[in-house]
Amino acid sequence: MSEETVKAGAAGAAGTIPGSAAVSASPLPAEPAPPAPDTDFFELLEKAPAAIREYLLSPSTDARFEKVATDFQLASDEIFAMVSVINAIFFRTRPFKEFHGLLAERLKWSDRERLDKLAVEIAGQLFLPASGYIGDVDGFIRDLKVDPAVFPQEKLALQLMSYDAGARQISAEAAKFLPPQFDSVRLQHLIETRLRAVRTDTQIKEQLMKPVKTGGLDLASEDAERILDAIHDELNATVFIEDIVPPVSAAAAAEPRFTPKMIRDIYAGAPEEQADLARHIQNIFDTAGRKPEDLAGWLFIQLFPEEGKAVDRLEVVSAIMALAQTGTLWDVLAKDKRLRNLVADRLAAGNADGAAMLEIDPYQTRFFNFFMQMLLRGFAGLTENDSARFGLRAYNLLKKNNLLTADAELAAFDADEGIFKWLEPVEV
């Protein structure tokens, strides 16, 4: 879309529906310009990855937008309502799963069939090329009974990087201007917490400038600012995914059908899955915050959806990983009565082993193993492989951050079947 087109809807992306104005190169007649938006367009644009910025302002995107507006003979106020929704998705002020409902809310059309067709056209023409950034656009289009193959199939090349690799890269650049004695390991850890949005800019700057004897790095203010600038540059250019450090047993590594790299790839999941998971986790943090009680409430809602709605597998996994990232997952499973009661209600009659698990010390690995399988296999309905690898990733994340001392493993790669399996499967 042209810069003028996208700017016009910036207010809508922030929640303010714009009035009416002319769209650049639009065949529709011009009307008075709307009031200045509450949120500056360039502010929102600068927060997006570089590839997305270029895509939004490219002539080809502008041509596709104009095609949609012309094909549907949209009036000026409808165009700006549509722009506000498109911007909300691209600038991530609203998650993609709310796209259809937001479009209906802004346009207020009574013709549902026309609304569905417009939603599909927007998704296919504008969102599909950036689906690696936006989410499951293919699935959305298929849900509305349209084949995504009818739309242009080119995809944006977005840079994917693990949080750990990003932190190491920024730390290596910082080493060029920092004193030789700086603690590179501590710096990498602090940078990673900012990339994960666990700490704010203010908190990171405080840690960087604190004296070494109180856990800081004793850096000058200008050096701390340079590191923050580097972090922001990386956040704008990269989609971050989980650090991939899967367990590889000797037997699995020796199996010629599965190399260590193949096992790591299975453990990590496809790059699209990793990027989608990272987006969902960030949306949870943006929406629910990072307090354990709020994240626990979010998880409970995903496990106990409204009547007639199915459990969203990705949302359940994302909520669990968000809790693991903040280091509160095990405490929540051990202490949250809502989750415990939900699991107890699900247990089949006569499942004495499951009932007994709810009575043991919740900080035993056996309890964690049982609860994770109930959530991932029982409620979310994940396969053996997917439930085991996600459960293992959450567990390993807690261990990596020194948040538990247990050395037991929950799951391992089965070289015969080529999948991850729980070492102690439970009845769900």
CA atoms within 13 A on the CB side of 421: 12
Among candidates 295, 397, 382, 391, which has minimal Cα distance to 336? Answer: 295
Would the pTM of this model clear 0.75, i.e. be above it?
Answer: no
Helix residue spans in 109-255 (DSSP H): 112-122, 131-134, 137-143, 163-174, 184-195, 201-209, 221-237, 250-254
Among candidates 310, 166, 128, 179, which has minimal Cα distance to 243? Answer: 166
Neighbouring residues of 367: CB distance < 8 A, sequence distance ≥ 6: 333, 334, 357, 360, 361
Q: What is the pLDDT of residue 248?
A: 52
Neighbouring residues of 406: CB distance < 8 A, sequence distance ≥ 6: 365, 399
Q: What is the pLDDT of residue 124?
A: 95
CA 117, 122, 125, 129 torsion-angle sign: negative
Instruction: With H, G, I as helix, E, B as strand and everything else as coil, classify residue 410.
Output: coil
- Exposed / middle / buried, residue 149 (Cβ in 10 Å: 0-12, 13-18, 19+): exposed
- Exposed / middle / buried, residue 116 (Cβ in 10 Å: 0-12, 13-18, 19+): middle
Q: How far is CA 302 from the centre of its chain?
A: 15
CB 69 within 8 A of CB 38: no
**Residue 232 host element (H or E):** helix 221-237
Report d(CA 97, CA 26) in Å as an integer: 29
Neighbouring residues of 222: CB distance < 8 A, sequence distance ≥ 6: none
Task: List the chain pLDDT tens, one digit each, 428 residues.
Answer: 654 554 444 444 443 323 223 233 333 333 333 333 434 567 777 767 777 888 888 888 999 999 999 999 999 999 999 999 999 998 878 888 899 999 999 999 999 999 999 999 999 999 998 887 787 888 899 999 999 989 988 877 666 778 888 898 899 888 888 888 778 888 988 998 888 877 888 999 999 999 988 878 899 999 999 999 888 877 766 777 765 555 555 555 454 567 777 888 888 888 778 888 888 888 898 888 889 999 999 999 999 887 778 889 999 999 999 999 888 999 999 999 999 888 888 886 667 777 888 888 888 888 999 999 999 999 999 999 999 999 999 988 887 765 554 556 788 888 888 899 998 898 87
Per DSSP, what are the bridge partners of residue 419?
414
Per DSSP, what are the bridge partners of residue 421?
412
CB neighbourhood size of 210 (10 A): 14
CA 141, 145, 147, 150 torsion-angle sign: negative
Q: Are strands 419-422 and 411-414 parallel, antiparallel or unpaired?
A: antiparallel
